[in-house]
Structure 1
Amino acid sequence: MVDARFEDVAGESPLYLGAQEPDDVPVISALVQDAVFPAGEMSYLPRRRRFAVLVNRFRWEDREAAERDRRPYERVQSVLAIDGVLAVKSQGFDRHDKDLVLSVLALEFEPGEDGGGRLVLVLAGDGALALEVEALDVTLKDVTKPYEAPSGRVPDHRD
Structure 2
Amino acid sequence: MPGGPAQNARFQPLRLRAEDAEDVIVLSACLQDATIRCADMTWQPQQRRFALVLNRFRWEDEGQADARRGLIRIEPHIRVAAGLHFDGVLKVQTSGFDRGDDRAVLELLSIMAEPAGDDVEDPAAILTLVFAGGGAVRLEVECIEAQMQDIGAPFPVRRAPQHKVQD
Normalised TM-score (structure 2): 0.86
Larger Rg: 2
CA distance in 2, matches of 1:130, 1:45: 15
The worse-fitting range, judged by mean Cα deviation, of 138-147 and 10-19 is 10-19
User: Could you state the TM-score of these two structures normalised by the residue count of structure 1?
Assistant: 0.91
Q: Give distance in 2, aligned partners of 1:7 and 1:92.
A: 41
Structure 2 matches for 1:51-130, cutoff 5 A? 51-70=50-69, 71=74, 72-113=76-117, 114-130=122-138
1:89-141 Cα deviation digits (max 9, x unpaired): 00111111111111100000011241011100000101100000001001110
RMSD of equivalent CA atoms: 1.8
Could you tell me how far apart the structure 2 residues matched to 1:9 and 1:57 are? 15
After TM superposition, the runs of 4+ consecutive aligned structure 1 residues lying more than 6 A away are none
Deviation at 1:21, TM superposition (A): 1.2
The CA distance in 2 between the partners of 1:74 and 1:9, in whole Å, is 10
Contact 1:81 1:140 in 2 (8 A): yes
After TM superposition, give the deviation of residue 157 of structure 1 in Å.
1.1
Counterparts of 2:44 and 2:11, CA distance in 1 = 32
Specify every segment of 5 or more residues in structure 2 that has no aligned partner in the other structure, as ranges. Answer: none
Q: Which runs of 5+ in 1 are unaligned?
A: none
1:14: which partner in 2?
13
Q: Structure 2 CA distance, aligned partners of 1:93 and 1:49?
A: 23
The offset of 1:76, in angstroms, is: 0.2
Give 1:158 deviation, angstroms.
1.1
Displacement of 1:37: 1.3
1:8/1:145 contact within 8 Å kept: no
Q: Secondary structure at the match of 2:163?
A: coil
Partner-residue secondary structure (3-state), 2:61 = helix
Corresponding residue for 2:41? 42
One-letter amino acid of the structure 1 residue matched with residue 162 of structure 2: D
Taking only the aligned residue pairs, the percentage that are identical comes to 42
Q: Which residue of 1 aligns with 2:30?
A: 31
Secondary structure, in 3 states, of the residue corresponding to 1:125? helix
